Structure 1
Amino acid sequence: MVIVVIGGVLTTLPLEFGFLLAGRVLQGIGLGCVPLLMSVARTHMSSRGSASTIAGLSVASTVGIGVGYPLIGLIEQVSGLRAAYGLGLALSVAALAVAWLVIPREKPGPVPRIDWWGAALLALGTTGVLILIADQSVWRTPLGWLPLLVASVVVLAGWVTVELHVPAPLVNLRVLSQPTVLGANVAMLVAGVGMYLLFTLFTRYLQTPSSADYGFALPGIASGAALIPFSALGFVAGRTTPMLIRRTGVRWAYLLSAVAVMCAAVIFALTLDSMAAVMIAMAVLGFGVGGISAVMPRLVLTRVPDEETASVLTVNAIVRSIGFSIGSAVGGLLLTVATSDGELIPARGGYVTAALWALPPLALSVAIVCARPVTRRGRART
């Protein structure tokens, strides 16, 4: 958190662009705090208390954008970009203070060596994969995508080799290869594709300019405020899903959450001309995304030792980011296909088709979760 605060200072001060960019890079390290907090909760809280806390952290890291986007957008409009970054700095300082006062101090003991090589190779490899997914321009010629693909594969292969041979690996690949952990990560990947495909469609549709025959032409702040139902229902799901898991089990909780996301896709596809219906679809999507986010730590941590919690959750977060990136890219591709030559805006039917394309990956994720090995109630430490 100290590094995140330093990044916040660099973004807030009226310095050159290079300092702003460096500050944003440092702030990105804060994303790694979420798995660490989940690990702390799992280690120092009771089983029931840690389950609800981990679910809440997972939900907040996913659906919190519905609060952050409109708030930051409003401050930027009223007071400027630096003021918006200033709010981020203030929140980071507050989080650092709370962490210092609340998080238990570790008992003195041997300090394991940091796997710097593993961290560097994983960062480089996943960056290459994300560029291939998100940047469509690299696919225009084999000279753009082929070297990057080969380099990413080689780097990730090197990362696997390093992780299997160092005494204290960044990620214990033997734990990740367990059927329950592997299945949960694959389910997260394909579910992330469907969820973020819909999210990007909804936000883009709301901002479609008035020159089109559809959409609502919402300006920046209004389109950000439209995300509030998404976050509100997401947080509701985060509070109710742990109770649902205790009553029905993780499979039913995941199934109901995924069905909610599917319902959002169908509502959106059938009611594009109604602002109220699209907002309802956004809220239902938030509930489904929040539910999946709350269930996923429970799925991925089944039979995982406490000391591996942070690394397993970090990999799950990376998998989720890759799924989100694929979903965003697929949504953009489908809308591009629906755009006629010489036009800048896709046809209305392109949004219907793209929304329905979210259903197969979500159904696949449900099948993966339902096919996972059954864990006896009370046996797994989650």
Structure 2
Amino acid sequence: MDKRTPAPQAEQPPHRLIVPGLVFIGMIVAIVSSLGAPLIPTIAETDHISLTDAQWSLTVTFLVSALATPVMGRLGDGPHRRRVIIGSLATVTVGAVLAALPLGFGFLLAGRGLQGVGLGLTPLGIAVVRDALPAERARPAAAILSVTTVAGVGLGYPLTGLVAQYGGLHAAFWFGAVMSALGLVVAVLVVPSPGPRPRRPVDSLGAVLLGLSLAGLLLGISEGESWGWTSPRLIGVLVAALVVLAGWVVLELRVAHPLVDLRLLRRPAVLTADVTALLAGVGMYLLISLVTRFVQTPRSSGYGLGASVAVAGLALLPFSAASVVSTRITRLLVRRVAPGVALAMGSVVVLFAMVMLTYARGAMWEILVLMALAGLGVGAIFAVMPGLVVGAVPPHETGSATSFNQVIRYVGYATGSTLSAVVLEAHTAPGHALPANSGYTVAGLIGCGMWLVTALASLVLPRLRRGAGAGPGAGSSKVVGGGATTRVDRAAEDLLEVEGVADVPEVGDTASAGRKD
């Protein structure tokens, strides 16, 4: 059984509404982040752009999140956590206002990028309750905060869809701006200042290099069809992005305080969790992007369901609801099988959902069923990941490892969002606004292949370095694929017992200080 070591105390007693306040903030962040997927066709129509370009309104949010999360985590570990939380919510509010103003797609895109900063707030909120509250209150509070992340998205899609349907596109973003402003007020009232802490240096150069490399790769993928897959411009962008990425890797391995600790990837369980996070992130947002576009496609095209943006949001509700239910089922599952097997089982469930999207998508009930299946599988995968990482690294490295897993996940989201647009654009005839129905079939087959690879990676990667030493505190490489009860297995089970949810990222040394084996 895990024991908590005394965490640094806040300088002031916690506000009596600290937990409801942080839950409200988490719900708002989830709702604001959900302003992307169902609104893509509406954005394309309003701003007179292609669906591929409109897809960037979702992709840019996750791209910024991938950069903001580790930076915010590093800053939040020092004496400025309260300022980071308040500043992040202020940034989200400004982004929502910028997106709401009728200034054109460029300003909307910039606003959506600023809103991506908010996705780094969940681990900071969990760190706040772990420091400010005693253990018996901190654990259930962390569970509630994590559930809020999933539930907020399920509420956000239909809610923002309704606002957009009856008030217009910009009304949806004004709604997000008002909600963000309310969250900012709540943060000022309930978030305590941390106690005395050493300052944590931020790897600014590493953040810049990571941003440039990811932006270059996503730009190359998204523009490949229009530029030509063998064009010198495309090849130049991709090569430059890969060179910058290689430079970032070298930098992270040499600096004293890296943005993310890449050395942790030498541990099989961590490598398994991160590769799975990347592949599952791609597969998940490939599915979500395809479903929201297909549901809104007019029936006059010869396919599609001709639904409104509000109905498209409601179509995603089974996904969020099932992902919450799945965490309860996974709690029982990890007691009987190894975490790697649980990851593979979740991937197979989503594979079935993707098969349905590929071959059985002609009715709304089929969409609802496949989204529920996808929620069960994705919920299981993201429920297992945190415990897999925590059980494989020493306590003082927990924050770095979970932070990187979060970054990888956001990169997967952005890639899946972009990939869906690229495939559909490739199946859109010149002069036509909508892709052929075969585009969804091809994209579905790609998604099936992605989830099959995810399942295989979950089973194979843990065995690649069987018996290799991973350093003090790390689990053996064979614990993930084997059936014995080991440190990794216990960590996955304990984390599900304590936090009971999918997304439970931890932040730096603050979060890891609360764990001791």
TM-score of the two chains, using structure 1 as the length reference? 0.82
Give the letter for the 1:114 counterpart: V
Equivalent position to 1:204, from 265, 269, 293: 293
Measure, in 2, the Cα distance between the counterparts of 1:80 and 1:344. Answer: 21
2:255 is the counterpart of 1:151: no
Residues 161, 312 of structure 2: 8 Å contact kept: no
1:379 maps to which residue? 487
1:279 maps to which residue? 368
**SS at structure 1 position matched to 2:198:** coil
Equivalent position to 1:175, from 243, 264, 288: 264
Measure, in 2, the Cα distance between the counterparts of 1:316 and 1:336. Answer: 30
**SS at structure 1 position matched to 2:300:** coil
Q: 1:96 to 1:345 in 2, by over 3 A?
A: closer
2:74 maps to which residue? none
2:386 maps to which residue? 297
Q: 1:345 to 1:41 in 2, by over 3 A?
A: same
**SS at structure 2 position matched to 1:357:** helix
2:115 is the counterpart of 1:11: no
2:343 maps to which residue? 254
**SS at structure 2 position matched to 1:135:** helix
Shift of 1:287: 2.0
Matched ranges for 1:197-236 at <5 A: 197-236=286-325
Give the letter for the 1:203 counterpart: T
Give the letter for the 1:12 counterpart: V
Matched ranges for 1:1-382 at <5 A: 1-7=85-91, 8-9=93-94, 11-12=96-97, 17=103, 23-37=111-125, 53=142, 57=146, 61=149, 64-79=152-167, 83-92=171-180, 95=183, 106-136=194-224, 137-139=226-228, 142-336=231-425, 338-339=427-428, 344-371=433-460, 372=462, 373-375=477-479, 377=485, 379-380=487-488, 381=491
Query: Could you report, residue by residue, the CA deviation over 1:263-320 in whole angstroms, capped at 9, with x for unpaired residues?
Result: 1122333423232122211221222222222222223333223443343333323322
Measure, in 1, the Cα distance between the counterparts of 2:355 and 2:233. Answer: 37
Residues 86, 188 of structure 2: 8 Å contact kept: no
Measure, in 2, the Cα distance between the counterparts of 1:222 and 1:104. Answer: 40
Residues 94, 114 of structure 2: 8 Å contact kept: no
Structure 2 unpaired stretches of 5+: 1-84, 463-476, 496-517
Q: 1:145 to 1:70 in 2, by over 3 A?
A: same
- Superposition RMSD on alpha carbons, in Å? 3.7
| Aligned length, in residue pairs | 381
Residues 52, 242 of structure 1: 8 Å contact kept: no
Q: 1:138 to 1:38 in 2, by over 3 A?
A: farther
Query: Could you report, residue by residue, the CA deviation over 1:149-194 in whole angstroms, capped at 9, with x for unpaired residues?
Result: 2332232222223222222221112113322212221222223333
Measure, in 1, the Cα distance between the counterparts of 2:486 and 2:127. Answer: 19
Residues 389, 401 of structure 2: 8 Å contact kept: yes
Q: Which moved more, 1:70-79 or 1:199-208?
A: 70-79
Q: 1:350 to 1:162 in 2, by over 3 A?
A: closer
Shift of 1:138: 4.6
Q: 1:169 to 1:40 in 2, by over 3 A?
A: farther
Query: Could you report, residue by residue, the CA deviation over 1:34-78 in whole angstroms, capped at 9, with x for unpaired residues?
Result: 34446667888879x869957973x76567534212212222344
Residues 197, 327 of structure 1: 8 Å contact kept: yes
Q: Which moved more, 1:165-174 or 1:233-242?
A: 233-242
Shift of 1:216: 0.9
Q: Which moved more, 1:264-273 or 1:327-336?
A: 327-336
Q: Which moved more, 1:82-91 or 1:277-286?
A: 82-91
Q: 1:363 to 1:219 in 2, by over 3 A?
A: same
Measure, in 2, the Cα distance between the counterparts of 1:291 and 1:209. Answer: 34
**SS at structure 2 position matched to 1:354:** helix
Residues 39, 310 of structure 1: 8 Å contact kept: no
**SS at structure 2 position matched to 1:156:** helix
Give the letter for the 2:219 counterpart: I
2:70 maps to which residue? none
Residues 254, 292 of structure 1: 8 Å contact kept: yes
Q: Which moved more, 1:93-102 or 1:176-185?
A: 93-102
Residues 269, 356 of structure 1: 8 Å contact kept: yes
Q: 1:261 to 1:309 in 2, by over 3 A?
A: same
Q: 1:102 to 1:238 in 2, by over 3 A?
A: farther
